[in-house]
Amino acid sequence: MSANARGALFMVLAMMAFAGEDAFYKHVTASLPPGFALLLFGLAGLVIFSGLALRAGQAPLHPAAFSKPLLIRSGFETAGRLFFALSLAYTPLSTTSAILQATPLVVTAGAALLLGEQVGPRRWIAMSVGFLGVLLILRPTPEAFRADVILAVIAMVGFAGRDLATRTSPPAVSRWQLGVLGFGVVAFSGAALMLIDPAPPRMPNGETLLSLALTAAFGVTAYTLLTQAMRTGEISVVAPFRYSRLLVALVIAIVFFGERPDLWTLAGAVLIVGSGIYTLLRGARVQRTADRAGRAG
């Protein structure tokens, strides 16, 4: 299996886990303030990743955590986590998930402009088709515009910046140490949100605690897989497979939250997934051509 194919597989699995995390977190915010729920979620993930790092014989917090690349990564992740938590709490899950699907377009542009990756015109066209699918879902007309979608847009930009910064993070920092850093940021974001949330924290009941535990389990799994995906293969090929999150989120939104996506939403989802698959196939073809040219030379 090529590096691009492995990266795509890691990304798909990560997106499935993230969709589960989103659903359980949204369920938790029905009984807990979003900031308090995010703080508890962050602390749970922090404990889990610290334990994994210690079991691997590593210090939970790597000295490079305060290097410029990781500080930039933490800043973007703070924005992403903070506004994504607000979006999950106050907008439909299907809408929030759809907006996040614009992330690969931003990541691809960043990879080309900032990291020097070669992105051919066909892949740019495929990415544009995927973005058109997002627009079909959102239908951003003045009549249909909702101010709360800005929360998801800011979160999308934050996550795109985090993914690009992950690629430039020091290789010596393990995925467990990146997880410690990431969930420390989640806990910090929750504490910051509590400062502006008028609702006081309250003790969760047994059902809410179970949902929090499942949120943490899915979140840790998703974070680990995402870090691996962003360190495997080309970003411009791997990133489009974020689109798979939308399909899982739509199923969860329908089954568990009673949301009913219309024909436009389903058509957009088809465009999104189709563009992602094409991007992988095109990237694999380009890689094979380059490999043959290298052997011939």
DSSP string of 237-293, one letter each residue: HHGGGGGHHHHHHHHHHHHHH-----HHHHHHHHHHHHHHHHHHHHHHHHHHHHHHH
Domain count, the chain: 1
pLDDT for position 10? 92
Per-residue confidence at 167, pLDDT binned at 50, 70, 90? Answer: confident
Residue range 115-138: mean pLDDT, rounded: 79
- Give pTM, 2 decimals: 0.73
Q: If you ran DSSP here, which 8-state letter would residue 201 be given?
A: P
d(CA 38, CA 49): 16
Comparison of pLDDT for 127 and 83, the residue scoring more: 83
Q: Based on the number of CB atoms within 10 Å of its own CB, is 67 exposed (0-12), middle (13-18) or buried (19 or more)?
A: middle
Q: Which residue is associated with the tokens 């800005």?
A: 150
pLDDT per position as a tens digit, 229-284: 878 877 767 877 877 887 888 888 888 888 887 787 778 878 877 887 777 677 66
pLDDT for position 268? 80
Q: Which residue is associated with the tokens 């542009």?
A: 109
pLDDT of 98 strictly over 70: yes
Per-residue confidence at 294, pLDDT binned at 50, 70, 90? Answer: low
pLDDT for position 218? 93
pLDDT for position 165? 82
Closest CA to 49 of 187, 180, 169, 242: 180
Cα–Cα distance list, 268 to 102, 215, 265 (Å)? 12, 28, 5
pLDDT for position 141? 63
Give the best-scoring range by mean pLDDT among 84-98, 202-216, 235-249.
Answer: 202-216
Rounded to the nearest integer, the mean pLDDT of the chain is 83
Per-residue confidence at 13, pLDDT binned at 50, 70, 90? Answer: very high
Tokens describing residue 61: 């917090």
Residue range 12-16: mean pLDDT, rounded: 92
d(CA 188, CA 35): 10
Q: Give residue 18's identity as a one-letter amino acid code.
A: F
d(CA 190, CA 34): 8
pLDDT for position 76? 92
Number of H helices, E strands in the chain: 12, 0
pLDDT for position 272? 77
Decide if 194 contacts 39 (C-beta within 8 A): yes
3-state secondary structure of 204: coil
Residue range 124-135: mean pLDDT, rounded: 81
Q: Which residue is associated with the tokens 């924005």?
A: 79
Closest CA to 157 of 100, 95, 111: 100
Decide if 111 contacts 119 (C-beta within 8 A): yes
pLDDT per position as a tens digit, 26-75: 889 888 998 899 999 899 989 999 999 999 999 998 888 888 888 888 88
Cα–Cα distance list, 120 to 97, 126, 129, 196, 282 (Å)? 27, 10, 15, 45, 10
Tokens describing residue 235: 């970003």
Tokens describing residue 280: 């992988």
Q: Which of 101-105, 123-127, 249-253 is the least confident region?
A: 101-105
Q: Based on the number of CB atoms within 10 Å of its own CB, is 205 exposed (0-12), middle (13-18) or buried (19 or more)?
A: exposed
pLDDT for position 51? 93
3-state secondary structure of 200: coil
pLDDT for position 246? 79
3-state secondary structure of 141: coil
pLDDT for position 71? 87
Tokens describing residue 33: 């303030």
Range of the domain at 62: 3-296
Per-residue confidence at 122, pLDDT binned at 50, 70, 90? Answer: confident
Decide if 238 contacts 7 (C-beta within 8 A): yes
pLDDT for position 201? 82
pLDDT for position 55? 93
pLDDT of 4 strictly over 80: yes
d(CA 7, CA 178): 18
